[in-house]
A and B are shown apart, each in its own frame.
Chain A
């Protein structure tokens, strides 16, 4: 069966060039980078190069990068670490309702443990209001954490504008850029970002590795204590093959960014336009055009439920995801879609198709050919659907 992978926001395949490079650091250069001998030195050199490659992609200095076990750890380190380090100054945190759980649940945890938390709402396109943010700032505000591009609906937040405000008011600004890395240009200096989370496995690198950019002079308390690696910010023997693979993936992402943006945008718009014209009673979730992440398509298909849609797509070889409750194991549909004002029913019928480097025009043609048939079949089964409802 022909298989089409349209779930790149969940994870991506490792680029063969990345995998090949990593392999050497499993079997040949396996030393501990802290060791003084040859084995250690060779790995240390490669780690230094990786740090430069990662820093270059986001406009940082290599010394401002701390490698972690992934985006989740980097988010936790940024928020818990900054909150703790800044406690003398204040205890108020600001985030948004559509953050990844790695940010939202970390903030909520702090909110129950001595910190004050403001969760900003979003509009129907999934974008926060800068005015609301300004109003939420108090003298004791120490940290604003707002994601760059949302992982479910692809909405891009006004990071530059926020960065100006936080800089002016001397508040730390953390940005989760896991989904935008390699797809949007990021310049931490120009955007006035103090802390930036990135993750390797969304950019054709290995899983289980990420990084936190920490602007020079910004202090975060570590989550883990031990051998004082990563300038004491993140103890633990470095995941050398992973970090080196991440570095390579960043280098490739930088080289490919412009052509990939064009490729993904054209596929994205073809897919969105095709779905909207071929299926009735569908709604695009998230903004269109330049406010939308180049590889994200998210639609709610009324009267049907997301998981049954995913199952049907999987049977014809198409891998996608949904914000339906029944795909998450919890009873509630996506917090992002609910925050955008969707009803439970409409949120349950959401479908996310996230594109990647290897997708082609033919892949999109195939989906546009098959999806309407699946929708018809499921609607024929649905008690919510009546032919006259359109």
Chain B
């Protein structure tokens, strides 16, 4: 039911972990569905230099987390904010319909981490 890309990202997830000294962290969760995702990132001069994730969730949740980190790494914050949950799902070659709710986290977690960075740097 999953595409090869999803299985690839699930089996060999990119950018797993937590960055010590991150300047932006975000966490979104859906206790009901059981998917929780945490993103930490390092932003330098408006560019996402490094990003890592940790995810509690199903295959779709892990794969979308992994994919989103690849999609935004090296990008400007503005570019990263344009990445949406559905572009992540698209990049994975689509997700089964029953799994779309699980992918509704990945981009949100990144946006949450960026927001956290922006709030910190404002003060």
| B58 near A324: Cβ-Cβ < 8 Å | yes
Interface residues, chain B, with chain A CB atoms under 8 Å away? 2, 7, 10-11, 13, 16, 27, 31-38, 54-62, 98-99, 101-102
* CB closest residue in chain B, given A381: B16
| A384 near B10: Cβ-Cβ < 8 Å | no
What class of interface size applies to chain A in its complex with B?
Answer: 20 to 34
11 A-B pairs in the complex with CB atoms less than 8 angstroms apart: A308-B57, A308-B58, A308-B61, A308-B62, A324-B34, A325-B32, A325-B33, A331-B32, A348-B34, A381-B16, A382-B54
Asked if A71 is at the interface of the complex by the 8 Å CB criterion, the answer is: no
Given A382-B54, A383-B37, check contact A307 B59 (CB 8 Å): yes
Given A308-B10, A311-B10, A381-B16, check contact A344 B32 (CB 8 Å): yes
Pick from A315, A325, A345, A381: contact of B55, CB below 8 A: A381
The distance in angstroms between the C-alpha atoms of A344 and B31, with both chains bound, is 7
| B56 near A304: Cβ-Cβ < 8 Å | yes
Q: Mark A363-390, 1 if CB is under 8 A from B, else 0.
A: 0000000000000000011111000000
| A305 near B35: Cβ-Cβ < 8 Å | yes
6 closest Cβ contacts across the A-B interface?
A348-B34, A326-B58, A307-B58, A383-B54, A329-B98, A383-B38
Q: Mark A322-335, 1 if CB is under 8 A from B, else 0.
A: 00111101011100
| B56 near A326: Cβ-Cβ < 8 Å | no
Asked if A303 is at the interface of the complex by the 8 Å CB criterion, the answer is: yes
Beyond the given pairs A303-B56, A324-B34, A383-B56, 12 more chain A to chain B contacts, judged by CB atoms under 8 angstroms and listed by A's residue number, are: A305-B35, A308-B57, A311-B10, A311-B58, A324-B58, A326-B58, A329-B98, A332-B32, A333-B34, A344-B32, A344-B34, A381-B54
**Would you give the shortest CB distance from A304 to chain B, in whole angstroms?**
7
Given A311-B10, A380-B16, A383-B37, check contact A305 B57 (CB 8 Å): yes
| B58 near A305: Cβ-Cβ < 8 Å | yes
Pick from B13, B60, B102: contact of A381, CB below 8 A: B13
Which of chain A's residues 343-370 have a Cβ closer than 8 Å to chain B?
Answer: 344-345, 348
Q: Mark A292-310, 1 if CB is under 8 A from B, else 0.
A: 0000000000011111100
| B16 near A345: Cβ-Cβ < 8 Å | no
Taking CB atoms, residues of chain A closer than 8 Å to B2 are 311
**Would you give the shortest CB distance from A381 to chain B, in whole angstroms?**
5
The distance in angstroms between the C-alpha atoms of A326 and B58, with both chains bound, is 6
**Would you give the shortest CB distance from B76 to chain A, in whole angstroms?**
26
The distance in angstroms between the C-alpha atoms of A303 and B57, with both chains bound, is 9
* CB closest residue in chain A, given B99: A326
Given A380-B16, A383-B38, check contact A331 B33 (CB 8 Å): yes
* CB closest residue in chain B, given A328: B98
Pick from B34, B37, B60, B62: contact of A345, CB below 8 A: B34
**Would you give the shortest CB distance from B29 to chain A, in whole angstroms?**
9
**Would you give the shortest CB distance from A292 to chain B, in whole angstroms?**
26
The distance in angstroms between the C-alpha atoms of A380 and B102, with both chains bound, is 20
**Would you give the shortest CB distance from A236 to chain B, in whole angstroms?**
32
Pick from B54, B61, B98, B101: contact of A305, CB below 8 A: B61
The distance in angstroms between the C-alpha atoms of A175 and B7, with both chains bound, is 42
**Would you give the shortest CB distance from B54 to chain A, in whole angstroms?**
4
Q: Mark A44-84, 1 if CB is under 8 A from B, else 0.
A: 00000000000000000000000000000000000000000
| A382 near B60: Cβ-Cβ < 8 Å | no
The distance in angstroms between the C-alpha atoms of A311 and B63, with both chains bound, is 12
Q: Name the residue in A329, A381, A384 with the highest tally of chain B Cβ atoms < 10 Å from its Cβ.
A: A381
| A326 near B10: Cβ-Cβ < 8 Å | no
* CB closest residue in chain A, given B13: A381
| B11 near A315: Cβ-Cβ < 8 Å | yes
Taking CB atoms, residues of chain A closer than 8 Å to B7 are 311
The distance in angstroms between the C-alpha atoms of A348 and B92, with both chains bound, is 24
Q: Name the residue in B34, B38, B99 with the highest tally of chain A Cβ atoms < 10 Å from its Cβ.
A: B34
Given A303-B56, A331-B33, A382-B55, check contact A326 B16 (CB 8 Å): no
* CB closest residue in chain A, given B34: A348
| B56 near A331: Cβ-Cβ < 8 Å | no
The distance in angstroms between the C-alpha atoms of A381 and B15, with both chains bound, is 10
**Would you give the shortest CB distance from B53 to chain A, in whole angstroms?**
8
The distance in angstroms between the C-alpha atoms of A308 and B32, with both chains bound, is 16
| A326 near B54: Cβ-Cβ < 8 Å | no
**Would you give the shortest CB distance from B85 to chain A, in whole angstroms?**
16
| B10 near A305: Cβ-Cβ < 8 Å | no
Pick from A324, A332, A333, A383: contact of B36, CB below 8 A: A383
Taking CB atoms, residues of chain B closer than 8 Å to A308 are 10, 57-59, 61-62
Taking CB atoms, residues of chain B closer than 8 Å to A382 are 54-56
